[in-house]
Amino acid sequence: MWAPTASDVKLATFESASSSSATATEYQMTKGVKGTWFVTLDGDKAGTIYAYRVTRNGEKVGVIDPYARASTVNGGRGVVVDLESTNPANWSETKPAFSGRNVDASFYELHVRDFSSNASSGISAKNRGKFTAFTENNTSYSWSVTTTDSKTKKKVTKKYTTKTGLSAIKDLGVTHVQLLPIYDFASGGDETSPSFNWGYDPDNYNVPEGQYSTDPTNPTKRINELKQAVQAMHSNNLRVIMDVVYNHVANAGNFSYEQIVPGYFFRTDDTGALLNGTGCGNEVASERAMVSKFIVDSVKYWASEYNLDGFRFDLMGILDVTTMQNVREELDKIDPSIIVIGEGWNMGGLPEDQRATQVNISKLDGIAAFNDQIRDGIKGSVFNADEKGWATGNTGRRGDVVAGITGNVAYSASVTANWITSDPGQSVNYVEAHDNLTLADKIFSSVNTNATTRSKLHRFASSIALLSQGLPFIHAGQEFERTKGGDDNSYQSSDATNSLKYKQRVTYATTLNYFKGLISLRKAHPAFRMATTSDVKKNLSFLNTSQTVIAYKLNGAGVGDKWGTIVVIHNAGKSTASVTMPGGKATWKVVVNGDKAGVATLATLKSITKVSVPAGTTMVVYK
């Protein structure tokens, strides 16, 4: 271990997780080079429970190994683990085929517990809320609704069935499942009887969270079951993204590295007080050599040991550019198709030119950032429930949407991007995530209208992001108008608020099928997946329209698309818009309207020069 300021370090082993500190067996560690300490124990030590006892500044403290791969229940002590023995049957490094280009991906953000905690998940009770829920294939849920016929007065019973679990995600057509925190986190109480929490408060960075295991008291069970979950998703042609939180910890004072090397792991001000750019009580000093090494080592470990396909960095802007560059470099050695995205918000105690932020994205090749410009441009500020976006009636947000459609590339002087990507793949385009109101709840709060129109606006707003250049991102349940009852910060709310209600797949079948169609359209046509700024500038051109309409032409032929010319029209107005088509009179085929989307022709518009687009809808045509 690394403890450069320690005067003495001992390894302590324990008979059980509950053994008192006084009963530990101690082994003296020897000081090595560059602040390291070491000791060697002979024999097979798998299953050994251990901790370090570090003397520094005249004080002796007991700490868990910050590099621990396994732990006792609730993360109290480390456990030696034979990782090969945790591999499921037929464990393989084989992954679903993927180009490695961000623009070819489509992300689906999902909380492990949300996925299966509701009875409508069709998942067996023993696996609900657990990693093992992902191992259940071909799940569905059936229910009946009995009504009385208004004319005959007879009771009529109708039966419904919908796909659930992995079957539902696979049916949607996305390529990557992004899991909210799955490392060992502090919140949620006792792992054997946990309460709900998102988990953005790291405790042990390299240990899976125990509450998602069917047996949190078994240190290897959670490792095996997480690997089973990854393997199951891979078997269903879904790649897996891990949400990582290296910007802060649950409790700085209790964190293992702070106990081992006080004052090193976290940023402080001139008085020694912890900086708090994260709003979570502390911020990790990633710019320091051994902190940076810890972060890079941790990411490498998860990628290699769990065969993961990507990482989402929470509050990436807190971290330094060099560390993120090193993360990308090391992941490329493991698997260049691994995707890295992050929240590039500008915050924290580093000089601005060193922060891994949106404005520094040109320094972060192969890393994408969430695009809040298109998000807020479409639906309005996430910090003001009542504020409208362009899609819901605020024409002043039009420019933000236009910039986002290009993937925030350096498009032209007339398109103002708040931050500039090196290529469209660096822009994560979204209109809903786990944070803040769901899109359905945002529309409910900001638009005074009926349920039918709200559904139409939900499809409209989502289509803008999904058809834009870049990496499309969907929050689980967005495809069936997920609501959290207006809860804009459900990080510790109940399962009743957070769980996925799969019956809504039937209630909002029109919206679900619309999402499936948009995803299939992107997959089938490279014009929606341009990989370079040059391609976007050459092959995407905006048409002259009013402030309530955004229309653009995609030169499919220029990027190898079988559709020569594609026109996308978004009408945010309150009435039907007439849009002049490029190239004069021609016959166009419609593949997207307000209710349906996909690659199949919905209508043929013969010999037209203008097209009429209904209010609050998207239309996609091609010739």
Return the number of other C-beta atoms located less than 10 Å from residue 152's C-beta.
Answer: 8
Residues in the chain: 623
The active-site residue out of 343, 423, 432, 481 is 343
How far is the C-alpha of 107 from the C-alpha of 519, rounded, in Å? 11
Per DSSP, which regions of 215-366 are E strands? 239-244, 310-313, 339-342
How far is the C-alpha of 88 from the C-alpha of 70, rounded, in Å? 17
Q: Evaluate whether 296 touches 284 at the Cβ level (below 8 Å).
A: no
How far is the C-alpha of 169 from the C-alpha of 525, rounded, in Å? 21
How far is the C-alpha of 48 from the C-alpha of 11, rounded, in Å? 12
Angle between helices 398-405 and 451-467 (to 10 degrees): 40
Phi, psi at 21, each rounded to 5°? -60, -35
314 catalytic residue (yes or no): yes
Q: Evaluate whether 459 touches 513 at the Cβ level (below 8 Å).
A: no
How far is the C-alpha of 253 from the C-alpha of 213, rounded, in Å? 28
H-helix segments, 468-577: 495-498, 504-507, 509-524, 533-539
Residue type, 80: V
Cα separation values, 588 from 202, 546, 563, Å: 53, 22, 11
Cα separation values, 584 from 576, 608, 613, Å: 21, 8, 18
Q: Which residues contact 272 (CB under 8 A, 6 or more apart)?
A: 263
Structure tokens at 381: 């500020």
Q: For residue 303, count CB atoms less than 10 angstroms from its CB and return exposed for 0-12, middle for 13-18, buried for 19 or more.
A: buried
Q: Evaluate whether 257 touches 265 at the Cβ level (below 8 Å).
A: yes
The active-site residue out of 104, 184, 309, 314 is 314
Q: Which residues contact 170 (CB under 8 A, 6 or more apart)?
A: 236, 237, 238
343 catalytic residue (yes or no): yes
Cα separation values, 51 from 17, 221, 321, Å: 11, 20, 33
Phi, psi at 141, each rounded to 5°? -140, 135
In sequence order, the β-bridge partners of residue 147 are 156
Structure tokens at 201: 């408060």
Phi, psi at 27, each rounded to 5°? -125, 125
Q: Which residues contact 450 (CB under 8 A, 6 or more apart)?
A: none
Q: Evaluate whether 177 touches 45 at the Cβ level (below 8 Å).
A: no
Phi, psi at 95, each rounded to 5°? -125, 160
Phi, psi at 410, each rounded to 5°? -75, 80
Q: Evaluate whether 406 touches 469 at the Cβ level (below 8 Å).
A: yes
Active site residues: 314, 343
